[in-house]
Amino acid sequence: MATDLVVIGLGHVGLPLSRAAVSAGLATMGYDVSGTVVSGLAAGRSHVGGVFDAEVAVMLDAGFHATTDPAVLDGAQTVVICVPTGLTPGGLPDLSAVEDAARVVAARLRPGMLVVLESTSYPGTTEDVVRPLLEHGSGLQAGEDFHLAYSPQRIDPGNETWTIRNTPKVVSGCSSLCAKYAVAFYSRFVDHLVLARGTREAEMAKLLENTYRYVNMALVDEVALFCHETGIDIWDVLHCAASKPFGFAPFRPGPGVGGHCIPVDPRYLTARAESQGFAFRTLAAAHEVLGRMPNHVVDRALALLTDARGRSEGARALLLGITYKADVADVRETPAHPVAAGLLAAGAEVYYHDPYIAEFTVGGRSLPRAENLQEAMAQADVAILLQDHACYAREALGQARCALLDTRGTAVGSRVTLL
């Protein structure tokens, strides 16, 4: 049977994409370099939040197959690259996974194939990085022998309202014909497509979307810091400002930013701009502000411990919700890491409660996990609400014996201290 689609990288982007394609009736296969991921999927186990085991079983029944064998690319009509794009230890864009994927595709590339990059990266990645690798490795020419496109992913983990089907999707191509083939492909399982002028515009659009959030999060966080210093209720300020029906988009302060996109994507934009002699001053300021928030949370928590016990050494600090986003089982770049590290450095005993995360390690040290929320709060000297999971009832948190530092502005009670 001919394969309509092979998805390279079956993570938080690739697996939901595969699910959407299978649901639309496309003969879909998956390729991943992780044997653990592949064997898990073969056994019907999902490793991605929002994709359930039962859905993987349905995919398998429909003919979906995951493998570490690149031969799966042979005969594929379309290949979509969904591999991660992170940062090097020095904070620079790391495109090694994209480059490796492009080489794998190049070795199996055939005339007429559509290759799409969905991995987030800086403007020029499709044309200046992926295209040369594909052409050099195959001897074929993009726009003439095969079709090359870029379409940034817009998956929002935990969002049950906006899915791949109904979220408008930006599509672009290295030529008008490439774009036409990309539109034809995505229209099979996406309701509304937005055609960009070129791949650089589509790549830049993705970075702008997340940079917009990054900058506005920093603005609200800095306003929260100012309000704390001056005795102004930031949460009431936000409530009042959000009542304006135009010209204001509400953002809320927090302990820092996390996830794969928000902390990373602006760094891609900054690095690309600097390589071309342009300085994004707004991003530099936002980065500085957001980097201060975990330390601010630590300082507030230590102040509560000093008030309650006279010192922080030996005090029990309970972290509530250590994921980067509410009700999502993902701790990538979570601000819980620097918060926990700061408390540990001050001599506190740190443990956590989170129904989504079974293990949490900070600086090579595995933190104890509390199973029972009520018992954990009864034993704590201070609890810090980092993520407002649905399981954390605001009234119940406020009735706890220990002091509660609420970084999300949701709890109520006499012992609650707001960020």
- Active-site residue flag, 261: yes
- Rounded Cα–Cα distance for residues 116 and 131 (Å): 11
Percentages helix, strand, coil for the chain (3-state, rounded to 5) are 40, 15, 45
- Rounded Cα–Cα distance for residues 88 and 86 (Å): 7
3-state secondary structure of 77: strand
Cα-based angle 290, 291, 297 (whole degrees, multiple of 5) = 85
- Rounded Cα–Cα distance for residues 146 and 124 (Å): 19
CB count within 10 Å of CB 47 equals 16
Amino acid identity, position 172: S
CB count within 10 Å of CB 214 equals 25
- Rounded Cα–Cα distance for residues 120 and 182 (Å): 17
3-state secondary structure of 155: coil
Question: Please, which residues have CB within 8 angstroms of residue 246's CB and are 6 or more apart in sequence?
Answer: none
DSSP assignment of 7-59 equals EE--STTHHHHHHHHHHTT--EEEE-S-HHHHHHHHTT---STTS-HHHHHHH
Amino acid identity, position 374: Q
Which structure tokens are listed for 63? 């003919």
Q: Where are the alpha helices (DSSP H) in 43-192?
A: 53-61, 96-106, 125, 131-138, 176-186
- Rounded Cα–Cα distance for residues 100 and 38 (Å): 18
Question: If you search the block for the tokens 């919700």, which residue do you land on?
Answer: 321
Give the C-alpha distances (Å, rounded to integers) separating 235 from 64, 81, 411, 419. 48, 42, 12, 9
CB count within 10 Å of CB 248 equals 10
Of 174, 178, 227, 261, which residue is the catalytic one? 261
Sort 116 into a burial class: Cβ within 10 Å, 0-12 / 13-18 / 19+.
buried
Q: Which amino acids are annotated catalytic?
A: 261
